[in-house]
A and B are shown apart, each in its own frame.
Chain A
């Protein structure tokens, strides 16, 4: 008798274990945002809390990113029982992965306020999170001291002259090298994505996709690639070897921030790093001279977009939240003053106080932009397939001609 009682108890315990996972209750409408920018996680959460107070709609921010890979975590999030209502994709690569899950925006007020919304087949799919841009950022003080006019930095010849001059004045300027450039294993996004984007779009009209269309069909533009290799060689030649080969993000940005280089191959996302490390010297962007010819624009784009989950139960609430962010002054204040971003919307009057972001706002206003196409290549192509080639080239394991041939061979594999 006693034994069967014990049996019963054990069975109940096991039953309770499984029952614990099954309970689900109906909740009030809630918007869950799963986003990838760790640096704005707190600010966005605070903004969402203020929004909840004003409208009564609960908005939950979940963040994953930085060193933990967002794309992987997002897949796991979708396998869980509470899928996010809003999540983030980065261009066509993300779209191709998630196409079946994406809802569309229609008639929302913010669509008329930006040129950077993510559109596929005439349907508005993504809300631009922010504008980001990169070019050759330079230290204005050091450039003046070297007596170089930034207006000459429009072609490979112009850069070559400037780099040579800096090289000859190294001791006087107190720099280790002209450029802070990184091509090591941790920095393949700088070479394989950002630098390579010059091959894809520099000098072409905004939105021109001829070169990348060819690339995705396995065809390389050999003339362009040969000219582009000169640019890569030039940057590597005038970079500090230890930062170039083994440096990480801190080493690269650190070299620029401490005045040990005149230029840095990075974008305005380094602002928070510079501010938190107390860097105060003035700085600005000059165009990349990625191929032969003259250049007057930097690479501007929206790196990521908020997209809607088609199967969400609170689509309208999600749309309202995004619209509020783009059209309400509190939303603008959050984007510019709190999150330190450059918003993609024309109705924003606030200017960022971060040095490089302020410069980007000027470039955006003057309309001088080359397209971001680096995220439209096949998954892993830029960083994992091309990245190692840059590193070998930087180390001198392969020469320029081999570099060109290998890049062309990798492009041919896309067929």
Chain B
């Protein structure tokens, strides 16, 4: 055997397990899904799907609930990305300063991330439904006592963002902490000698130096808020209803949940699959654009 062919063989052999698993669990199902999205498949064993072409895609764009869900998802994602990154960055600044128990705080902020989304959703549901009114009663404020937070569409959206931030900010904070610790101290010291104040240091040195972290954190938060499902199911179950252009809509039924409902509640597997494909395309475009844009902002040392 020639050295080169042998190297090739070893190369492919070591690649094989990962490659095979990837093809079997990602690539093949993806193309099967693409096929099923153009049929009337219902997932019942032994039934043969009938080819319907682009019918499922057409019906999707005339579906009011889908359009509404799309708008709501964008709104939720934008607000969560901002909220999570702001909170995470603030925490990261706090725990990288010279304070006592900083490791304790780091662990504390990170712990909500270890709680599963469903559990967390139920906890916050309890807080919004029972704890908030009790606090209102305790303080003697009728408005808070009688506040049905989860019956108001906008308050519910903020409640969701709050719960999601609470869960995810600690994780993002860890990435910022790592980035902040890598900012060269001599640069900061030099600027201090030149008389820079806190904001000038932050904007001209720290932020550009941690731009790489921004790329990662924006990507992670964007993708996971777009795909958010478990917290919503447990916290609001898609409700409360809202009126939008005269139609009754589920205000917190974001895309992932909407797709699930179409596929399983209405038993329209193929239609749900078609929506999932569009979801995938939109998410890919958005996240690739975001990474491309952020990459341009990074500075090389």
Which of these, A98, A186, A379, A398, contacts B265 with CB under 8 Å? A379
Interface residue? A75 (CB, 8 A): yes
Docked pose: A245 CA to B148 CA in angstroms: 8
Which of these, B237, B241, B265, contacts A380 with CB under 8 Å? B265
Which of these, B46, B151, B243, contacts A398 with CB under 8 Å? B243
Contact at B17–A14, with CB atoms within 8 Å? yes
**Contacts A71-B264, A185-B238; is A406 near B151 (CB within 8 Å)?**
no
Residues of B within 8 A of A3 (CB): 6, 10
Contact at A395–B46, with CB atoms within 8 Å? no
Which of these, A71, A185, A378, A398, contacts B248 with CB under 8 Å? A398
Interface residue? B45 (CB, 8 A): yes
Contact at B16–A185, with CB atoms within 8 Å? no
Q: Which residue of chain B has the shortest Cβ distance to A245 in the bound complex?
A: B151
Interface residue? B289 (CB, 8 A): no
Within 123-167 of B, Cβ neighbours of A (below 8 Å) are at: 129, 133, 148-151
Interface residue? A55 (CB, 8 A): no
Of A30-38, A130-138, A221-229, A386-394, the one contacting chain B is A386-394
Interface residue? B47 (CB, 8 A): yes
Chain B proximity mask over A207-233: 1 for CB below 8 Å, otherwise 0: 000000000000000000000000000
Within 219-270 of A, Cβ neighbours of B (below 8 Å) are at: 241-242, 245-246, 251
Residues of B within 8 A of A395 (CB): 151, 240-241
Within 1-38 of A, Cβ neighbours of B (below 8 Å) are at: 3, 7, 10, 14
Residues of B within 8 A of A10 (CB): 13
Which of these, A79, A98, A185, contacts B239 with CB under 8 Å? A185
Contact at B13–A397, with CB atoms within 8 Å? no
Contact at A14–B16, with CB atoms within 8 Å? yes
Residues of B within 8 A of A406 (CB): 248
Docked pose: A148 CA to B45 CA in angstroms: 55
Chain B proximity mask over A93-114: 1 for CB below 8 Å, otherwise 0: 0000110110000000000000
Contact at A246–B241, with CB atoms within 8 Å? no
Q: Which residue of chain A has the shortest Cβ distance to B129 in the bound complex?
A: A246
Q: Which residue of chain A has the shortest Cβ distance to B265 in the bound complex?
A: A380
Determine the interface band of chain A, counting residues with CB < 8 A from chain B.
35 or more
Q: What is the predominant secondary structure among interface residues of chain B facing chain A?
A: mixed
Interface residue? B266 (CB, 8 A): yes
Q: How far is the CB of B231 from chain A (nearest CB, A)?
A: 14
Contact at B267–A383, with CB atoms within 8 Å? no
Docked pose: A101 CA to B243 CA in angstroms: 42
Contact at B42–A97, with CB atoms within 8 Å? yes
Contact at B265–A384, with CB atoms within 8 Å? yes
Contact at B237–A185, with CB atoms within 8 Å? yes
**Contacts A241-B148, A384-B266, A397-B248; is A186 near B44 (CB within 8 Å)?**
no
Q: Which residue of chain A has the shortest Cβ distance to B42 in the bound complex?
A: A97
Interface residue? A278 (CB, 8 A): no
Contact at A388–B13, with CB atoms within 8 Å? no
Docked pose: A145 CA to B151 CA in angstroms: 34
Q: Which residue of chain B has the shortest Cβ distance to A388 in the bound complex?
A: B241
Interface residue? A331 (CB, 8 A): no
Interface residue? B261 (CB, 8 A): yes
Pairs across A and B, CB under 8 Å, 11 listed: A14-B17, A72-B264, A78-B45, A184-B150, A184-B240, A185-B237, A185-B250, A246-B148, A251-B129, A380-B265, A384-B261
Residues of B within 8 A of A (CB): 6, 9-10, 13, 16-17, 42-47, 129, 133, 148-151, 236-243, 248-250, 261, 264-267
Q: Which 5 A-B pairs have the closest CB atoms?
A: A185-B239, A380-B266, A379-B267, A245-B151, A185-B237
